[in-house]
Homo-oligomer: A and B are copies of this chain.
Amino acid sequence: MDRSPGTTSSPRDRNSKRQSVTLQDIAAHAGVSRSTVSLVLRESPLVAEATRTQVQTSIKALGYVYNRGAAALRASRTFTLGVVVYDIANPFFGAMVAGIDSVLHRENYVSFLANSEDSPERQQRFLERMREHRVDALLLCPAEGTDPTLLTQLADWNMPCVQVLRHIGAPPFDYAGTDFELGVRQAVDHLVALGHRRIVFLGGEAEHSATRARHQGYHDAMHAQGLGDVLGIVRGPVTRRAGFESIQALMQETPRPTAVICHNDLMALGAMLGLQRLGLIPGEDCAIIGTDDIEEAALSLPPLTSVATHPFSIGEEAARLAMRRIANPGGAREQVILTPRLQVRHSCDPIPAPGEAPYRRYPHATLDA
């Protein structure tokens, strides 16, 4: 009030002398105290309306930039989240991360993303780094082979953790994922309704919740359909290449399976390719169903029938759960389980009429589902 700093301290002056505009500078400019400015920034209802607008004007005028680091030090809240996935190159995770971001954005959060590549050691190093950076919470898709005591460790660290897609350790824990068991059941039921009996599951080799649930679902559904005698599970990596290779081995068997359900879409796409390599037609010589319903699934030949697991929604739910946990660290743990939906396309169409050339059928298929 005694001076009009808008003119006395020119930007040039500040540039040369001091690095950045601080609360103090704004306070001086607006003729109030540091604390009041802080309250305005945090949108406290305590400040009078007139003061608020005055301060906001000064903030704009001086081009102030909030220093979250400084705030974090005092308030011990960083507005920062750690996200650990195991295969960032899988489009599923692209979509999931987008879902996470969409929620974090609203909450003014920002995320550290790390790719464990399914290595517990890599994962551990990332977690330690994130600990130093004092993330408010963690979204963790645990790497294959992660020791269940990791959860205890994180609890000791005081780092809230929401597991995503896979889970380790004993309940209760926070978790967001899909009902994989139900997903596989949907796939099996669909195939059986189409007349298939020899249905093989191309699954993962790792022992974690997500493979277990799928295998359990397969097992139960097959039994429920009275097909307990033709169970077949192949275990291996869950990559495109693995799908490509294992289906070719599978097709050498007699009797051949007539349908294959895959752990994820990448495998399923690889499997379709493997069939083609053998001169077989996916969907006719052997039905294929994938899991995830990534974008590419609609863009294969034939378009892939897939159990949609809604990665974007999973990301959103996981992030929301993390926000809830941050707001209420002691609250009851939650498990958010989304319901998958079978997206039917053309990779398990019924056998074509005898006269019809199989290959020619694809052009009639619609790709837009």
Q: Is the CB of B89 within 8 A of A295?
A: yes
**Are the C-beta atoms of B89 and A101 separated by less than 8 Å?**
no
B132 touching A68, Cβ below 8 Å: yes
What is the CB-to-nearest-CB distance from A301 to chain B, in angstroms, rounded to a whole number? 5
Which B residue sits closest to A360, measured CB to CB? B279
Cross-chain contact B108 with A279 (CB below 8 angstroms): no
User: A292 to chain B: closest CB distance in Å?
Assistant: 12
Are the CB atoms of B65 and A132 closer together than 8 Å? yes
Contact of B98 with A240 in the complex, beta carbons under 8 Å: no
Complex interface bits, A95-120 against B, C-beta within 8 A gives 1, otherwise 0: 10110010001001011111101000
**Contact call B69/A73, Cβ cutoff below 8 A:** yes
A344 at the interface (CB under 8 A from B): no
Which A residues, 234 to 288, have Cβ-Cβ distances below 8 Å to chain B? 240-241, 244, 270, 273, 276-279
- What is the chain B residue whose CB lies nearest that of A113? B113
A362–B276 CB distance below 8 A: yes
User: How many identical subunits does the complex contain?
Assistant: 2
Q: Which residues of B contact A232 (CB under 8 A)?
A: none
Is the Cβ of B111 less than 8 Å from the Cβ of A112?
yes
Contact at A115–B89, with CB atoms within 8 Å? no
Contacts of A332 in B (CB 8 A): none
Query: A276 contacts which of B67, B98, B301 (Cβ < 8 Å)?
Result: B301
Q: Which of A29-37, A123-131, A171-179 contacts B (4 or more CB under 8 A)?
A: A123-131
Binding site for B on A (CB under 8 A): 19, 65-70, 72-73, 76, 78-80, 87-91, 94-95, 97-98, 101, 105, 108, 110-115, 117, 125, 129-134, 240-241, 244, 270, 273, 276-279, 295-296, 299-301, 359-360, 362-363, 367
